[in-house]
Structures are given as structure tokens and as C-alpha cells.
Copies of this chain bind each other. A is one copy, B any other.
Amino acid sequence: MTSYNLLLLPGDGIGPEIMAEAAKVLAALSDLGLAHFETEEDLVGGAAIDARGNPLSDETIALAKAADATLFGAVGGPKWDGKGPFHLRPEIGILGLRKALGLYANLRPAKCYGPLATASSLHAELVSGLDILVVRELTGGVYFGQPKEIVTLQDGQRRAVDTQVYTTSEVERIGRVAFDLARKRKNLVHSADKNNVMRTGTLWRETITDLHAAEFADVTLEHILADNLGMQLVRKPGQFDVLVMDNLFGDLLSDVAAMLTGSLGMLPSASLGDADPVTGSRPSLYEPIHGSAPDIAGQGFANPLAMIGSLAMSLRYSLDEPDLADRVEAAIESVLEQGLRTPDIAAPGQNAVSTAEMGTAVAEAL
């Protein structure tokens, strides 16, 4: 039985609650003799600030590098908002990990589960069966470019600067990920930018165009302005398959795409780097896209399915266990078909289950 070594970083807010359910599913897979999981747990984000004064310690980065995959809950909350210096806020827990591990490819599926189509604010016929994959660049752009600073001017005014930077190779490698994934899906990529306003947009569009011609001419490529994409996602989301875009557009538009499904609490994500040429191991991190939801933390009714779905993605992309990934995803579908719902996805009047009940049900459905 293959043994895997996973790092669990629950983080803040509902992070610990949902991570406990992912751990249940891991234990169930072990019990069934399907694989063996060693897990280690560490603090990150606000929890790590409180305990150590540092949202992301070097030891945590080292643990993540050594692990076969890292499962991440969520970071941040009002407790730490606007307190302490910018480089020590909870979000550094995730931004720093993405950068330190070189996780440049963020895969954010926006899938609408059949039994949940009526939860969408869009008409059900526009979203049922929806299956969009946003491929977001994750280690470049305005998130990391320098200068990034606030300076006080002589007249007492302050002046803030953020810098969006992209190089050809950064755009090429994320484009390659998108085209490769499209080949296993509907063979259609929309690349979004603001090439009418941004120089990084010009470089983005030209690089994706060249890459497409050189290596992926069999895939259909469409360029679209990011603002128009925002509209088209609302208007007719079913026209899209794979979407590729920069870090900031990916942040905003993957959230819009996610909300179309009506069930944010269902959506996982994977963040991947390149395999090490010597060891072959590929850095990776898996997290739900819903964030730390401080308003409902500690009440035991957060939806753990996005976290468990993220675990399934880790089985697929990092542990090379596609059968186990299928099995976990089937278990998620089956509890939905049984009618189990946490409050966020319950229809009005429908009985809701707790975080723990949902996790247990998935583990049993395995």
C-alpha cells in the first residue's frame, strides 16, 4: 500500500473545522486499505501570527516542500485586519507559500452539481451542467511586482504604488497548462486580458497567440477582454470551457465564475508548480476557494465539501491516484444525491446537516 505524506494547514476562520473533515476522509481511505496517509499539521495565517508573530515561518515552507501535497484551509479575518505591518498580515500565509513553492498555476473549476442548479441566482438552464475551468497565473502580476509601496510626499499626501510585471516565459508556462488541460476537455481556451489598456495585456495576448500557433494549433483559442469576460460569464456561462488569465483578473473572475454555480462551498482549487527535474516531485497546494468565512466560524455548520474536493484534486494531480480521486468525488456526489445539505446549499425549508455530519457521510459513502 502506497504511503503518502500530507501537510495540513487549517489556518483561520472555518479552516480548522473543514480540515477536520478532510482528515476524516483521509482516515477512511487508510482504513479501507486504499492508501496510507501520514499527516502533519501546522499553523498558518492569523493563527500563526497569534502563536508566533509570523503568518508563515520558514519551517512551514520546508514542511510544504517536503510533503507530497499540502492541504490548505483559509486565512484572514477581521481580527487581524489593518493591524500590524503589511508584510505580516495573515494573507502572507498563502501568498508566501504560492511564491516560495513556485505554484504558478492555479486551477479553479467552477462546476455546477446537478442537484444544486436551483441554488444559483442564474436561471437553472444557464448553469445546470456548467463546467468551467479557470486557469489563473498565481506567482506574478500585480501581486508580487516591485515597487509595491506607500510613500509620504513632501506636501503630506501619500502615494501608493503596485506594479504589474509579466515576462514572456511566465505567460508561456501558464498558457501551456491551460492548453494542455483543454485537450483533455472541450479543446477550447479563452484567454482574457486588457490589451487595449495594459502593456502586460499586449505581451499576454501576443505570447498566448505565438504559443498557440507553435504548439497547440489543434486547440481553439479565443481572446477576450477581461471586462467583456466578466459580462459574458453572467450572460451565457455555458459558452466557456478553459479560461486563462493573469493573477488579478483570475482572482476576480474566478470568483464571479464560482458564484454562478450558486454553491461556493462546493468549489476546490489546485495550485501547481513545475516538477523538480532531479527528484520529479511537483510542488502543490490544494485549497477551497471560499475563504475563511469568519462570520460563521466556530459554529459547526460550514460546508466541508470544497475542502474534501480539494483533497480529491490532490489525489489526482499530486499523488497520481486518479481512481481514489474519482472515488472521493463520487462520494461527494452521492451525499448530495442522498439529500444532505449544509445550510449554505440547503433549499429554503430543507433540513441542514452540520460540518461534522457532512464529513462523516462522505467518509461512509467511500
Contacts and interface: CB of A to CB of B under 8 A. Distances in A.
Interface of A: 76, 82, 86, 89, 91, 95, 121-123, 126, 142-143, 145, 148-150, 153, 157-169, 194-206, 226-228, 230-231, 233-236, 248-249, 251-253, 255-256, 258-260, 264, 291
27 contacts: A89-B196, A121-B122, A121-B123, A121-B126, A121-B236, A122-B122, A123-B123, A142-B198, A149-B199, A150-B199, A150-B202, A150-B203, A157-B168, A159-B203, A160-B166, A160-B167, A160-B200, A160-B203, A160-B204, A161-B199, A197-B251, A226-B252, A227-B255, A231-B264, A235-B259, A248-B248, A252-B253
Contact of A228 (B194, B249, B255): B255
A258 B235 contact: no
Contacts of A236: 121
Contact of A167 (B76, B158, B168): B158
A254 to B, nearest CB: 8
B91 A197 contact: yes
Contact of A194 (B123, B148, B251): B251
Which of A122, A168, A260 has the most B CB atoms < 10 Å from its CB?
A168
Nearest to A141: B162
Can you list the 4 inter-chain pairs with the closest CB atoms, starting with the nearest?
A160-B203, A234-B259, A231-B259, A160-B200
Contacts of A203: 150, 158-160
Nearest to A123: B121
Copies in the complex: 2
Contact of A230 (B148, B259, B291): B259
Contacts of A253: 230, 252
Given A121-B122, A121-B126, A91 B196 contact: yes
A160 B159 CA distance: 22
Contacts of A234: 121-122, 234, 256, 259-260
Given A123-B123, A231-B258, A252-B230, A200 B167 contact: no
Nearest to A247: B197
A160 B194 CA distance: 13
A234 B119 CA distance: 12
A332 to B, nearest CB: 22
Contacts of A166: 159-160
Which of A197, A206, A233, A235 has the most B CB atoms < 10 Å from its CB?
A197
Given A82-B195, A230-B256, 6 more contacts: A89-B196, A121-B235, A123-B123, A158-B168, A230-B230, A248-B248
Nearest to A95: B197
Given A202-B150, A202-B160, A197 B143 contact: yes
A259 B204 CA distance: 26
A159 B161 CA distance: 19
Contact of A76 (B196, B198, B255): B196
A231 B203 CA distance: 28
Contacts of A167: 153, 157-160
A75 B206 CA distance: 22
A228 to B, nearest CB: 7
A346 to B, nearest CB: 15
Contacts of A157: 167-169
A210 to B, nearest CB: 11
